Structure 1
Amino acid sequence: MKTDRQLAKYLANLGYGSRKEMEAAIQSGRVTGSGDNLRFDDEPLDPAPGMVLMMNKPAGFTCSRADQGRLVYELLPPRFLQRSPALSTVGRLDADTTGLLLFTDDGKLLHRLISPKSSTEKTYEATLARPLEGHEGDLFASGTLVLRGEDKPLLPAKLDVTGERSARLTITEGRYHQVRRMFAAAGNHVETLHRLRFGPLELGDLPEGEWRQLKPDEIAALAP
């Protein structure tokens, strides 16, 4: 059982306020229950450190706190930004890209997932400006495509054509604007881009702009 001082520190690390404010909250009875059933202002506590969240990112939001404009963190409870350890996105989606975006405050897990050695598959759905010509699948699968401004070939990627101007592309890397640049190298332009899958996780029917906490078995499958 945590002492009041330990509990105040724990609540402060979850972003509810300063330690002093949390000590006052405990004394005034705003914190109730015990163990795994603690409540703050009669609401269940936020997830403990080590959490992983999945969001269906809408267009117009950026992932870096250094960027201008609206940030994906605005779609989360404000106190999540005050958590310690800090909550970060697992990689980034550019402002115009929508779909599956992960967040975690687990630094080790974050680095495992974004490491070039992870080879985590990510599937995107792209709508293109011009009809596909038929050569794109072989080009992307070849392992010889070198993006403009780089000298290292991309790892093989899988293209599934879904329409005259639409396709799903599965990659295992996370280079800067990689999918958009791949289609540009093939002589086309991506008009819309939506991430459907990250490793074993699929976006499913999660509404745009909404988020949910991953279950322990989902986290275990994400980083076995």
Structure 2
Amino acid sequence: MLISNFKRFNMKRVDAYLSSLGYCSRSEARKFMKQNEITVLDKRVFNPSTKASHKDIKVNQEALDSEKLLILLNKPKDYICSHNDAGKLIYSLLPKRWQNRNPKISTIGRLDIDTTGLILLTDDGELNHRLTSPKKDIKKIYEVTLLNPLNGDEKELFSSGTILLNGEDKPLKPAKLTIINDTLVHLEIVEGKYHQVKRMFAYTKNKVIKLHRVSFADTFLEDLKEGSFKELDINLFID
């Protein structure tokens, strides 16, 4: 009896799944189910009010999208991490169905319009909050191209934890600088203050001319092409 009750508790209407996962709106579900093969336990259904478990539903012989998504995307330049601003929005790079999910997919943190590289997106609000919390010290690594050669003392300065940027009331946490050459470096930080990397190098009287994030929370782009994305196992990020 307990197992049976548990199964019923985890069942929802088919149209609720279809609308929350972006396949169609609830008002469009009946039409969608006529035009597409929706099956529950491999038996086709037409009634939007049919109740089922997520794992038992297929759309045109394919399993439903994950109930919660975590996406790794290689952000190109000139895309904006916003739902509402004018211009090219990062969400336009995702499948239309994912753009229609409820709750919406949002970026985990942001990258500036001229910054490229790794960004995570999710519709799991709790995960998003956890990975953007200042208390978590989430590691981020950037490849930084500089206008001028390094002064020579940046590695020690950034790791000292003594830099106080304009407008801030606390010094930055220690950061790790890896020098590739005198105008190309990797910078590892655990904060996400406004324009932080650019402001750190401005503090040394230098200027960032290209910024590319190569890692976030121990995930890497690897061979993912610019503008491309892949789904990650969200369970790897859940404590």
Structure 1: unaligned runs, 5 residues or longer: none
Shift of the alpha carbon at 1:148? Answer: 1.7
Structure 2: unaligned runs, 5 residues or longer: 1-6, 42-53
Q: Report how many aligned residue pairs link the two structures.
A: 219
What's the RMSD between the two structures over aligned residues? 2.0
CA distance in 1, matches of 2:98, 2:196: 29
Check 1:127–1:39 CA distance in 2 against 1; reply closer, same or farther (3 A cut): same
What is the TM-score normalised by the length of structure 2?
0.85
Q: Match of 1:160, SS?
A: strand
Shift of the alpha carbon at 1:147? Answer: 1.1
Shift of the alpha carbon at 1:44? Answer: 4.4
- Deviation per residue, 1:118-161 (Å, 9 max, x gap): 10100000000001111111111111101122221100000000
Give the aligned partner of residue 174 of structure 1. 192
Give the aligned partner of residue 144 of structure 1. 162
CA distance in 2, matches of 1:183, 1:66: 30
Aligned identity (percent) is 45
Give the aligned partner of residue 212 of structure 2. 194
- Deviation per residue, 1:34-69 (Å, 9 max, x gap): 363643345543222x22000000111010123221
Match of 1:121 among 125, 130, 139: 139
Indicate conservation of the 8 Å contact 2:36/2:59, yes or no: no
CA distance in 2, matches of 1:129, 1:116: 30
* Superposition map of 1:4-43 within 5 A: 6-27=13-34, 29-32=36-39, 34=41, 36=55, 38-43=57-62
The worse-fitting range, judged by mean Cα deviation, of 142-151 and 167-176 is: 142-151
Give the aligned partner of residue 106 of structure 1. 124
Check 1:162–1:102 CA distance in 2 against 1; reply closer, same or farther (3 A cut): same
Indicate conservation of the 8 Å contact 1:8/1:26, yes or no: no
Give the aligned partner of residue 97 of structure 2. 79
The worse-fitting range, judged by mean Cα deviation, of 26-35 and 107-116 is: 26-35
The worse-fitting range, judged by mean Cα deviation, of 23-32 and 128-137 is: 23-32
Q: Match of 2:134, SS?
A: coil
Match of 2:181 among 163, 167, 173: 163
Shift of the alpha carbon at 1:107? Answer: 0.7
The worse-fitting range, judged by mean Cα deviation, of 124-133 and 66-75 is: 66-75
Q: Is 2:214 the partner of 1:207?
A: no
CA distance in 1, matches of 2:148, 2:29: 57
Indicate conservation of the 8 Å contact 2:144/2:211, yes or no: yes
Indicate conservation of the 8 Å contact 1:5/1:23, yes or no: no
CA distance in 2, matches of 1:47, 1:5: 15
CA distance in 1, matches of 2:238, 2:80: 25
**Letter paired with 1:22:** A
Shift of the alpha carbon at 1:33? Answer: 5.4
**Letter paired with 1:47:** S
What is the TM-score normalised by the length of structure 1?
0.90
